[in-house]
Amino acid sequence: MRVIQWAAVMALCAGPVWAQGPVTPPSAPGPTMKSLQELWDAVTQLQGDTADLQDDLSATREANALLLLLMAELVDVPWLIETVDSAGNVGRNSSLAFGPDGQPAISYFAVTGLSLKFARFDGAAWNTETVDSDGSVGESSSLAFGPDGQPAIAYFDVTNSDLKFARYDGAAWDIEIVDSVGDVGRQPSLVFAPDGQPAIAYRAATGGNLKYTRYDGAVWDIVTVDNDGDVGRHPSLAFGPDGQPVISHHAGGTLGDLKFSRFNGMTWTNVTLDSDGTVGEYNSLAFSPDGQPVISYYDRTNQDLKLVRYDGAVWTNEIVDSVGNVGFYTSLAFSPVGHPAISYFEFIPVFPPGPGGESILKFTRYDGAVWTSESLANGGAGMSDTSLAFGPDGRPAISYYDDLNGNLKFVHKDVFISP
C-alpha cells in the first residue's frame, strides 16, 4: 500500500516537468504598449501644440483689444455728465486718474471745510471721503496711483505754506510734510518714477523757483531746478523713456514764457520753448508713443490753445484752437492708439466788459491729420481745473469744477454711469 502511494506522489511531481517545454517562445509577442520614447515624443508634440494655441489665443485677445480701442477712437458716442460731489462748494483743483481696477478716482479741494477730498468710483457709485482737514489744505492737488495700486496725492497746505503728501496704505491715509522751507508746494505735479518711488515738481513762491523732489525710500531729496526769474508756475512732470524726469513750466512776471527742464542723470538743463508774447500758462506735458515730449498750453497774448512737440531734433509749435479766447486749464493725454487729446476751457466775457462771463468746457482730439474740437459743458466764469485721462476702454474722461453749482463734475464717453 505504501509503495502505491509513493508511486502516485512521484507521478504527480514529475508531471509538470514533462509538460514545461522551452522557456523562450519561438517568436516575441507584438507590443501592446507604446515605448517611453514614443510617449515622450507625444507629450512634446502636445506641449508644442498647446503653446501654439496659447500664442494664437493671446494674439486674438490683443487683436480684439486693439479693435475695441480703435472702435473707442472712431465710433462716436455721446458725452455724459455726472455730479460726483455736491456736499457744499467742492471740486476745485481736481486731478483725475484711473486705478488698477479700471475705475476713475479724483482728488480735489473742498471750499466748504477747506479740506482735501478724494472720490472713487466702485463700479456702481461714487464714494467720497475727506483726506486732510488740518487747516486750509488741498489746493492744487495732484493724484497718481503707486505700483502697489494705492492712490497718493501731492497738495498745497495753505495754512502753513507747505508741500504735503498723502498716501493710502489700504486702510488709512498716511500724511507727511515734504517741504516746509518758505512758501512752497504750490501747483504740485505728482508722478511715480520708474523705480516705483513718488516724485513731485512744484513751485516755491519764496524765490519764485521751480523745485523737484523724489523719495528714495527713506527721505525726500529736494533740489531747485530753475531759479532764473519768476519761474515754476503750473509745472507738469513726466518721466521719459530714458527714466529721467522732465518738467514743463511757465515763467511769469515780465517774461511770460513756456519753459522746459530736463534731467540727464547728473544735472538739470532749462530751455525756453516759446517766448512770443505771454505764453505757457496752464501747460500740460506728456510723452507721445514715439518717446518724445509734447506740451499743451495757453497763449494769453493771442488767446489761443497751442501745442509744442519735440521730434528728436527741434521743437515745433502749432495753434490747436484759435476760435475765441481758448486754452485755459489745459490737460493733455494720449489715447491708447497714440493720438493726442486736450481738455480746456473757452472764456466768453460779458459785454460791455465787467465782472462775470461764461466758461465752456471743450475737448479736442487729433486724428492723425486734423484737430477736431467740441463743446461739452457751459458754466460760469469760474469753471476751472480740467483733468483728462483715458480709461481702460480707450474712451476719454474729464473732471472739472462747476462754479455755478459749486460741484465736482465728471464728463465721460458713455461709461462709468452711476445710478
What are the tens digits of pLDDT across the range 97-133? 999 999 999 999 999 999 999 999 999 999 999 999 9
Residue 282's nearest CA partner among 348, 232, 347, 234 is 234
Neighbours of 107 (CB within 10 A): 29
In a 3-state reduction of DSSP, which class is residue 42?
helix
Q: How do residues 307-329 score in pLDDT, each as one tens digit?
A: 999 999 999 999 999 999 999 99
What are 279's three cell numbers?
505764453
Query: Which pLDDT does position 22 carry in this prediction?
Result: 47
Distance CA 236, CA 242 (A): 18
Quickly list DSSP for 284-341: EEEE-TTS-EEEEEEETTTTEEEEEEE-SS-EEEEEEE-SSEEEEEEEEEE-TTS-EE
Query: Which pLDDT does position 305 carry in this prediction?
Result: 98
Query: Which pLDDT does position 135 carry in this prediction?
Result: 96
pTM of the model: 0.82
Distance CA 107, CA 139 (A): 10
Distance CA 362, CA 81 (A): 13
User: From edge to edge, which strands make up the β-sheet containing 79-85?
Assistant: 79-85, 407-413, 396-402, 384-390
Query: Which pLDDT does position 13 carry in this prediction?
Result: 40
Query: Which pLDDT does position 84 carry in this prediction?
Result: 98
In CATH terms, the fold of domain 79-413 is Neuraminidase (2.120.10)
Residue 380's nearest CA partner among 401, 398, 362 is 401
| Cβ–Cβ < 8 Å for 217, 171 | no
Residue 80 forms beta bridges with which residues?
412
| Cβ–Cβ < 8 Å for 166, 185 | no
| Cβ–Cβ < 8 Å for 114, 136 | yes
Residue 283's nearest CA partner among 243, 252, 314 is 252
Q: What is the largest CA-CA distance in the chain?
A: 149
Neighbours of 414 (CB within 10 A): 14
**How many CA atoms does the CB half-sphere of 377 hold within 13 Å?**
26
Residue 321 forms beta bridges with which residues?
305
Distance CA 138, CA 155 (A): 5
Regions of the chain short of the pLDDT cut 70: 1-44, 46-75, 254, 352-354, 414-419
Neighbours of 38 (CB within 10 A): 11
